[in-house]
Each structure stands twice: as structure tokens, then as C-alpha cells.
Structure 1
Amino acid sequence: MYKRLPPARPPPTGVPFHASVRAHAWENQCSQRYLVDREPDAVRPPPVEQDAPAWVAAMGAVSADEQVVEVTLQGKGSETVVLQALHVRVVRTGEPLPWTDYGTGVGCGGGVALRTFDVDLDQGSPAARAAEGQRPFPYKISESDPEMFRVTAHTGGRDVSWYLEVEWSSGERQGVFRVDDRGRPFRTSASAGRPAYDYPPGASEWSEHQPG
């Protein structure tokens, strides 16, 4: 008698990793600035970092001058996933927003993530460039070995909508994973020449920004 072989497993499908995206990470607790189309008396006090997404949504705010995005990728199983490349895709670009500039605070310090990349959105074809002393792609991830990437995108003279793409492969499978702000592009606008306000620690209202 021939022994019946078990049915072959279907090949795996879908993206072989989990992705967690923080669209409004900050270089430090008080560094980020936002453009808002409202007068100071109509703008809520600045949020702490973990509450930034809700504050941005409520105020209709846009990141001013730079935006820090943190992406954590972790494999779903024992298989190794190779992250081949990180690409920047620009959806649209235009003149800077004529809105008011609001700071999250003053006088704070903070840390830097391990895998750090810089994006100059003013370039014709923006690219994610590894920080000095850090190797570029590719990277490998698995369920027990995730990676976190911090991407700082900045512009000095444009209003830019953009997102990231992670090119990946696992065995015979390969694909491209889009990284965005819950289905929408990230948006970053220059703030040069705009009225600017701060909300210093202990204050009860916005006050004009004092350079220096």
C-alpha cells in the first residue's frame, strides 16, 4: 500500500511582517512646530508627544519645516524578511502654507533612535539617506528581531505631501509596503516668514516666539 501524503501547504500570502507607524514622533519633547490656520486664541495648548496625532487632527495642523516618522517592522513568524530598500514618494508639492507657526514648547532635550534616515523634500527626487556612520539598507527582520527606523523629512520652501515605501523579500516572495499616516500621505510645509508663537512651560496662553 502506498502511504497517502499530507496535502501540500499553500504558499504564504500577504505581507510577512507587522508594521507600526508613528507619524508625529519628535526629535525631543519640545522641538516640533506645526502650522495651523487659526489665531492663537483658537489653538489648544500644545500636546505631549503621545497625544500629538489627536491634537494635529483637531487643529488641522501640518508639520512645520520637518516631520519625524518612526516605523517599527517585525516579522510575523520564524521566516526571515529582507528589507531591501526605503523609497520616498512625493504625491504633490506647492507653495508653503500661509498659516501661523506654533511650537510645542521650549527648553527641552531628547534622544535619537537607532536607525536614522534623512529626507530632503526640496530635492527633485527625494531619497532616504542613512545618518553618518550608519549602514544603509538592506536590513533583516524576523519575529524575534524587529527593527525601528526614524525618518526625518524636512523642507525649507515647499508644502509637500509624501509617503514611504519599503521594498521587501522573503524566500520567493517580494513586494512593496507603503508607509503613510493611516492611509493618507504625510504632509510637511516650510514656515519661513510666518507669524510664530510658543507656549512656554507654566504658561496659560500662546505668546509671540522669541528667536535665540
Structure 2
Amino acid sequence: MSASRGKGGKDGKDGLGPASPADPPSARTSRSPAPASLTVATRPYAWENPPCSRKYLVDRSPDDVGPPPGEQDAPRWVRSLDAVSAGDQLVELTVQGTGKDTVVVQGLDVHVVSSRAPLDRNVYSMGVGCGGDVVTRSFGVDLDAGRPQPSPRDGQRDFPYKVSESDPEVFYVLAGTRAHDVSWYLELRWSSGDRQGTVRIDDHGKPFRTSGTGGSPHYDYPLGGNEWIRNESDQ
């Protein structure tokens, strides 16, 4: 039994057959880009160990800001207070292949969405009395530069790197600004055989945001304490 045609069946516009050459481009099937050969798991608010250099700008008084969180709770703490990374931001990227083939990570590019005057907010420090130490596979980004680009830090070699499903790599990007409030994101360039592409890296669909502190008041939460204390020397 043959399928019956609805209205317009004789001119091929009933949806039962392929679009005719006379149909507009929107009616024709287009091929989607091939999926990426790798995945990138992103932690936008990674901390060194210990987390002394992690600071955030918050538009609230100390009485309205809870104690500093642990690292695993930092994203929720940041979002609940609409906080912005102060001075610099450490982003952790875990890059892994999705199949048997080796993937070459060719490099990272920085894209600045906007750059304004630094925020006028209080600064809250996540740790007191110690120094941070960025781990290996670390790249620095000067967000105050005219064209920011990642550069290897502390003897780390530059791209490219190879990854696979069984051999991932973890990279750390430390992006800093002193003079601006910057919204930005990264693009990772990759290739595998005759395939290549890019992967956008951001904060769950939104740009990262990092701001200088200017002359904003700084506050610490001393170990064993129960309130934020103004730090007169950290300006």
C-alpha cells in the first residue's frame, strides 16, 4: 500500500520527500560539524594549596559575608555573593581524548569580551599567613595587555601537547589584571589526523570575570576567628 499524500503532495512540499532545488536554503538539510575529539573539564575557581592568594571582590559589608569556603564549595560561594575574582584567577583544565586516536592540543587563545575600570568593592581573602604555589602545567595571562596570550610559567614548556582517552593532561591558567575589570574566555585549538577544531572554555556558558582591586578595602578571616578583619597593610 502506498502512502497517501497530504495537501501539496504533488509539488513535493508535504515533508514526505527530499526538498526540491526550488526550496529555500532553510528547508535543506545541512551537515553539522564533526564532534570534537576531546573533552575539557573546567574548574573556574581552582585554588593553589594552600589557598592564600585567592581573593574575591564582593559588593557587601563584612557583616553580610559568611566565612570563606573550602575549595570544593568556592563556586557556590562565589555565585551566591555575585563575587568576582580579585587580581587574578586560577582556572584548571583537564583535557582528555574521547577515542583511540591521539589528539594534539595545539594551543590556547584568550578572547576579551569587555574591559572596564576595576570594580569598587570590598576584597575578601580566602587564606591568611602563607604563600600560594601554582602547580606544573601552568600558563600565565596578562589581562591588561593589548592582546593577552598565555605564556608558560616557572620553566613550563609551551604547547603543543598530546592527549588521549587513557592519557589526559591537566593545565592551569593564571590570568591576572591590576587596572581593569575584564570579562574573557579561552579557546583551545586541537587536531587529530586530518581533523581539527576549537573548544570554547568559559564559566558554564558565561565569560570568566577578573578585576583589579584598586584601593578597595581588604578583609581577612583569621584561622580560628569568627569574623572578617580589615587588613590595613594589604592595599
Q: Considering the TM-score relative to the shorter chain, is it more than 0.5?
A: yes
- Structure 1 residue aligned with 2:105: 83
Q: In the TM superposition, what is the alpha-carbon distance from 1:210 to its structure 2 partner?
A: 4.1
Distance of 2:135 and 2:163 partners within structure 1: 17
Structure number with the bigger relative contact order (C-alpha 8 A, sep ≥ 6) is 1
Asked if the contact 1:30/1:106 (under 8 Å) is kept, the reply is: yes
2:38 alignment partner, one of 1, 17, 42: 17
Distance 1:202 1:119 in 2: 35
Aligned to 1:177: 199
Q: Give, in whole Å, the separation in 2 of the partners of 1:196 and 1:211.
A: 9
Shift of 1:29: 2.1
Mapped contact 1:113–1:149 kept (Cα < 8 A): no
Structure 1 partner of 2:47:
26
User: What is the letter of the counterpart of residue 41 of structure 1?
Assistant: D
Instruction: Tell me the TM-score normalised to structure 2 length.
Output: 0.82
Supply the distance in 2 between the matched residues of 1:80 and 1:187 (Cα, whole angstroms).
Answer: 33
Instruction: Mark the runs of 5 or more structure 2 residues left unpaired by the alignment.
Output: 1-32
Higher strand share: 1
Q: Name stretches of at least 5 consecutive residues in structure 1 with no aligned partner.
A: 1-11
CA distance in 2, matches of 1:191, 1:109: 19
Q: Tell me: CA distance 1:132–1:107, structure 2 relative to 1, closer, same or farther (3 Å).
A: closer
Say if 2:219 and 2:229, in contact at 8 Å, map to a contact too.
Answer: yes
Report % sequence identity.
55
Alpha-carbon displacement from aligned partner over 1:38-81 (angstroms, at most 9, x marks no partner): 11111111111111000000010000000000101011121010
Partner residue, 1:59: 81
Asked if the contact 1:155–1:188 (Cα under 8 Å) also holds between the matched residues in 2, the reply is yes
Moved more, 70-79 or 21-30: 21-30
Cα offset, 1:109, TM superposition: 4.8
Give the paired residue count: 201
> Equivalents in 2 of 1:132, 1:31: separation in Å?
17
Following TM superposition, the consecutive aligned residue runs of length 4 or more in structure 1 with deviations greater than 6 angstroms are none
